[in-house]
Amino acid sequence: MNILVINGPNLNMLGIREPEIYGKATYADLCRLIEAHAAEIGVEVSLYQSNHEGDLVDAIQQAYGKADGIVINPGAYTHTSVAILDALKAVGIPAVEVHISDPDARDEFRKISYIRAACVKTIKGHGFDGYLEAMDFLAGVNQ
Ligand code: CA2
């Protein structure tokens, strides 16, 4: 099984600012954690991060025919991007939406997710573990 993990804008800044919300660990730490977990559960994983909406759309389109599942934290595009929603719908690959924090417990504008409608599951507020839970879900581990 091939899982593509996509992170959107500013997630490359993890560990650098706002540790009270996102923790002290860096994006490189997150990548290492995901790769180690993939090896543990026996799946292939690819990682992609971009600050650009169109690049995220391209990455989703390029996963067509290659990835069996997508784990996506679209960052702030969660709350704005019909283009990412449409791309996820277009490829039809099972996708899990992940948020490190719980956007529903924060600003009013974070309560709307455009992406959710194209996802089989949403995991929020579980920190980095949320990515691993999403991989387990897609791989059918513990189910
Ligand atoms: O909780 C999440 O994972 C979010 O997707 C993170 C986004 C935010 O816009 C969403 O509402 C919830 C923001 C990612 C920004 O990450 C930063 C990391 C370090 C310093 C500043 C921002």
Is 131 assigned a catalytic role?
no
13 lines ligand 1 (CB under 6 A): yes
Say how far apart CA 89 and CA 114 lie, in whole Å: 12
Of the residues 77, 99, 114, 131, which is catalytic?
99
**pLDDT tens digit sequence for 67-112:** 999 999 999 999 999 999 999 999 999 999 999 999 999 999 999 9
Compute the 3-state secondary structure of the chain and give helix, strand, coil in percent, each to the nearest 5. Answer: 50, 20, 35
Is 22 assigned a catalytic role?
yes
Q: State the pLDDT confidence band at 28, using cuts at 50, 70 and 90.
A: very high
Nearest CA to ligand 1 atom 21: 17
Nearest CA to ligand 1 atom 13: 75
Of the residues 22, 77, 114, 131, which is catalytic?
22
Structure pTM?
Answer: 0.97
